[in-house]
Amino acid sequence: MDTLTGLLDGPKARGAFVLRSVLSTPWALRIEDRAPLSLLTMLDGEAWILPDGGQPVLVRPGDLALLRGPEAYTVADDRGSEPDIVVGPGQICSRDGVSVATSMALGVRTWGETRPGDERPSVMLTGTYLAEHEIGRRLLAHLPTLLVRPAGVDTTEDTLVRLLATEVTRADPGQEVVLDRLLDLLVVGVLRGWLAAPEAPGWLRAQSDEVVGPALRLLHDDPARPWTVAALAAEVGVSRAGLARRFTALVGEPPMAYLANWRLAMAADLLRDPELTIAAVARRVGYGDAFALSTAFKRVRGITPQEHRRPAAPAGESAAGAALPGEPAQPARPGPATVVLAAG
């Protein structure tokens, strides 16, 4: 597993909130749902995304915008439009404190407000992730608050947008799973574009290095193996000192420190599975027994594996010590406010 695969495996929708909004001009929505990640695209018309404290961006049909929570933002037809509808936690929509979920329903997963005579209202498609994945959380911490990929960069993504727009209004059996997977594919496509851009964290470039890249893949593929720097160096065909020096320079920490962080990240995910005992998780990620894993988990994250297994924190709140491999075990520095990727 390469480094990016491990990170991109994080955003997995499970009953994501996918909605088609149909709105007559003027319109403006205030989003205060604190969701960890949302995707937005316009099917018809344009919209301004105005992050709190960030640079406003105009989104045109086919553009894909990723918004990282929990910060609030406004989406509107015009920068000057005042929002009169607030979307709160749980995707509860209200106007002046009164729910409009029923009064503004327009069909299957379709919502909005149109005015007589408006033959071409704005049509917006949104997908909201309601929960975080452990490894994905650390990637999200480095994302900009607003990341926009222009239309036409990838024809596959353009096709996926059309598919999602078609599927969102259907009520077939298993439809929720179909929507989740389409949303995942779109999000991963945008993230891949960002990871290849200069704005991405520098440590990610290490995965393309001719020495450090293979070493990272070995650690990701078999974290339970009793690795040493010497064994890892032998596998990639360099000296122990050479690997340690190059790995630390590019990744930001020594190989064994990276491995320890990666093992704990994997353990944190596996511990969410009630079918796995702590001892079983320990064996999968390279700890000799449950006690060894518990000791390391407590030291780095400040909580025991048993405490970690309790219901997850509300959306937008990060777990203690959720650091990416290659960074200190502390909350990551926030990403930049707004990034618009190159059109080609």
pLDDT score recorded for residue 137? 63
Q: How far apart are CA 93 and CA 89, in angstroms?
A: 9
Q: Does domain 3-196 have CATH number 2.60.120.280?
A: yes
Question: Of 286, 258, 257, which is closest to residue 270 (Cα–Cα)?
Answer: 286
Pick from 11-15, 95-99, 138-142 the range whose average pLDDT is largest.
Answer: 95-99
Task: Give the fold, CATH level 3, of 202-311.
Answer: Arc Repressor Mutant, subunit A (1.10.10)
Residue whose token pair is 């406004």? 74
Residue whose token pair is 């990403």? 335
Q: How confident is the model at residue 9 (pLDDT cuts 50, 70, 90)?
A: low
Q: How far apart are CA 73 and CA 67, in angstroms?
A: 9
Give mean pLDDT, residues 98-103. Answer: 90
Which residues touch 206 (CB under 8 Å, ≥6 apart)? 3, 212, 213, 216, 247, 250, 251, 326
pLDDT score recorded for residue 142? 72
pLDDT score recorded for residue 39? 95
Condensed to tens digits (0 to 9), the pLDDT of residues 58-85 reads: 999 999 999 988 889 999 999 999 999 9
3 state SS for 191-231: HHHHHCCCCCCHHHHHHHCCCHHHHHHHHHHCCCCCCCHHH
pLDDT score recorded for residue 136? 64
Q: How confident is the model at residue 138 (pLDDT cuts 50, 70, 90)?
A: low
Condensed to tens digits (0 to 9), the pLDDT of residues 188-235 reads: 888 888 877 776 665 666 777 899 989 998 998 899 999 999 999 999
15 with 105: CB under 8 angstroms? no
Q: How far apart are CA 81 and CA 187, in angstroms?
A: 28
Q: How far apart are CA 40 and CA 148, in angstroms?
A: 9
Condensed to tens digits (0 to 9), the pLDDT of residues 101-124 reads: 889 999 999 999 988 888 899 999
pLDDT score recorded for residue 340? 85
Domain-wise residue ranges, the chain? 3-196, 202-311
CA distance to 35, 51, 54, 230, per residue, from 71 (Å):
9, 8, 10, 45
Question: Of 103, 99, 82, which is closest to residue 90 (Cα–Cα)?
Answer: 99
pLDDT score recorded for residue 153? 77
31, pLDDT greater than 70: yes
Give mean pLDDT, residues 126-134. Answer: 76
Which uninterrupted H or E stretch holds 20? strand 17-23
Higher local confidence (pLDDT), 344 or 334: 344
- Per-residue tokens: 5: 């695969």
Average pLDDT, the chain: 84
